[in-house]
Amino acid sequence: MNIRRSLLATLPLFLTLLTVSTGAESKIKNVLFLISDDLKASTLGAYGDQVVQTPNIDALARQGMVFQRGYCQGTTCGPSRRSFMRSRYQDEDGITMGQNFIENGFYSARVGKIFHMRVPGDIVAGTDGLDVPECWTESFNSPGLEAHTAGLYSLYNHDIETTSMKDRASTAEDHRWFVSVKYEGDGSDQPDFKTASKAIELIREHGKSDKPFFIAAGFVRPHYPNVAPSQYFDLYPPEDITLPETREGDLDDMPEMGYTRVTSLTDPIGKYPENQRKFWGSYYATITYMDDQVGRVMAELDRQGLRESTAVVFIGDHGYHLGEHFFWQKSNLHEDVTRIPFIISAPGYAPGESMSFAELADIYPTVSELVGVSVPDTVQGKSLVPLLKNPAASVRDESFTVGNNQDFAIRGAEWAYMLYKDDTDELYDMKKDPKQFTNLAQNPVYAKVVAAQRKQLVSRIKAAGLNRPLPSPLKGDA
C-alpha cells in the first residue's frame, strides 16, 4: 500500500518530465518569428557581451535554447533571407515557409523587413523591397525617416557632427554605413517601434482564433543608419568602449577576395579611433532600442496567454564587422559575419545552450515539425528538434555558408575553411585561433587538413546543387 501511494505521488512529476523530454509537440500551435538586421552574435548579453544592455533578448534566451554555433547561409541581407525563408542554400526553388503555413491552414503575416528591403531606401519610401506576396495572408511595412530624422547627425568616417538637415548620407550614397542620428524622443516614430506595435495588434487579433498563426516581425536595427533616441546613446559613452583587437600585418596572409569592401586601412574611418568608439556606441544604442521592441512583443504574448502555445524564434540575418581585422560591414566569410544569434523558445522543451551546429536554413523544417506541418521536398535544411530535446545531440558536423561571389565556407568544431573563385583559400584553427588571425592554408604543415576541408566543402556544394561553377582545380576533390 505504501509503495502504491509512493508511486502515485511521483506520477505527476514523471509525467511532467516526460512531457519536457518528448517536447509536448501537440501543445505548440503558433509561430512568432523575430528577426534583427545586421546583428552580430557577440553583441548580445546572452552571447557574452559585457557592455550591451539586452534584457529582453537575454530573458528569451533563458527561456529557450541558445545555439552558440548558429551560422547564416548568405553573407548579406538578400541571400540570407531568401535562404531561411525557403530553406535553400542559393536558389529560389520551392515554396516559402509562409506559403507552406498558409496551405496548411495558418494565418501568415509579415511586419517590417523579412525578405530583403533596402535600408534605408525602402524604409524611407515605405515600399515592399523584394517581398514575396505569396508568403503572407497580410503584410505591413514600417516606414521611417532614417538618416533624415531631425537630431544630431554623425558621419563618423568624415568626422562630421551636425544638426543640419542638408547633405545627409542616405539611400545609395557613399559612406551611409557610418551614419548615426541621436535625437530627442520616445522612439515611437521609428520603424522598429511601428513593427512591434503592429505585431502586438496582430497577436491580439489572431491569438484567440481557432486558426493558428505564423507572424514574422522584422526589425531593421542595428542596420545603419543607427537612429535612436538620445537616452539609448547615453548608455554607451565612447570612453566605455574597447575597440576590437587588431594586429599589424593581419591581412598579409589573407587573400584579397577575403577582404570586406570597407577597411580601416583604406577608408577615412581609420584616422578616427574615437569615432570608431562612437560608432560602436551607436550600434549598441540601436541594439538596446531594438531589444525594447522585442520586449514589447513578448510582453503582449504573455498578456494574451499565448506563451504555452507559441514557438518563438529570434535570429539575426548575418553578422557584421565593426573594425575586426580592420574590416567594416558584411559580405565576407569570416566568423564575425557568418556567426549569428539564434534562439528558439518552444513550449514543452527545456531551456539550455547547444554547441551543436545550426544553420538558418534549419528554421523552416524546425518550426514546421514543432507545429506538426510537413515540409516540401525542396527544403534543404534539417530540423533542430533533436537539439531542443537534447542540446548535446547533433544534426550536422559543420555549417555551410555561400558567399556573393562564387565563394564558400564551412565551419566545423576545429576548423574554419573558406574557398574563393580564384582558388585562393583560408584555413583557421578555431580552437587555438578563434579570432582568425593566422591563415594556415598556405602552410605545408596543414596540407592534409586543407585537402580534407576542401573535399568536405565540395561535397556540401554539390549536395546543395548550387548552379555556379566550382573553382578549378579542386584540390582534394576525390
Q: At what angle do helices 77-86 and 363-371 cross, to 10 degrees?
A: 30
The reported pLDDT for the residue numbered 15 is 36
The reported pLDDT for the residue numbered 2 is 38
How many Cβ atoms from other residues are within 10 Å of residue 216's Cβ? 25
Residues 6+ apart with CB under 8 A from 97: 84, 85, 86, 87, 135, 214, 363, 364, 367, 368
- Rounded Cα gap, residues 297 and 57, in angstroms: 11
- Rounded Cα gap, residues 261 and 332, in angstroms: 9
Residues linked to residue 329 through DSSP beta bridges, in sequence order: 321
Name the one residue in this structure whose C-alpha cell is 505564423: 214
pLDDT tens figures, 332-352: 999 999 999 999 999 999 999
Q: Is the pLDDT confidence value at 16 over 70?
A: no
CB–CB of 223/290 below 8 Å? Answer: no
pLDDT tens figures, 216-237: 999 999 999 999 999 999 999 9
The reported pLDDT for the residue numbered 469 is 57
Cα 245 to Cα 84, 97, 100, 123, 326, distances in angstroms: 32, 40, 45, 34, 9
- Rounded Cα gap, residues 427 and 433, in angstroms: 10
Q: Is the pLDDT confidence value at 7 over 50?
A: no
Residues 6+ apart with CB under 8 A from 15: none
Task: State the amino acid at position 106 in one-letter form.
Answer: F
- Rounded Cα gap, residues 45 and 408, in angstroms: 30
Please tell me whether the peptide bond between 473 and the residue prior to it is cis, using omega within 30 degrees of 0: yes
CB–CB of 148/164 below 8 Å? Answer: no
Task: Kindly indicate the confidence band of residue 97, based on its pLDDT and cuts at 50, 70 and 90.
Answer: very high
The grid cell for 441 is 592554408
The grid cell for 73 is 547561409
- Rounded Cα gap, residues 382 and 365, in angstroms: 6
- Rounded Cα gap, residues 157 and 272, in angstroms: 7
Q: What mean pLDDT comes out for the span 456-471?
A: 81
Q: What mean pLDDT comes out for the span 433-457?
A: 97
Of 300, 315, 309, whose CA–CA distance to 57 is shortest? 315
pLDDT tens figures, 175-191: 999 999 999 999 999 99
Cα 248 to Cα 99, 175, 245, 268, distances in angstroms: 50, 25, 10, 18
* Domains within the chain, CATH numbers bracketed: 25-145+187-397 (3.40.720.10), 405-478 (3.30.1120.10)
Name the one residue in this structure whose C-alpha cell is 541594439: 287
Task: Kindly indicate the confidence band of residue 470, based on its pLDDT and cuts at 50, 70 and 90.
Answer: low
- Rounded Cα gap, residues 97 and 136, in angstroms: 10
Please tell me whether the peptide bond between 120 and the residue prior to it is cis, using omega within 30 degrees of 0: yes
Residue ranges in 66-214 assigned as alpha helix (H):
77-86, 97-103, 121-125, 191-206
The reported pLDDT for the residue numbered 406 is 86
- Rounded Cα gap, residues 100 and 136, in angstroms: 10
The reported pLDDT for the residue numbered 468 is 56
CB–CB of 362/383 below 8 Å? Answer: yes
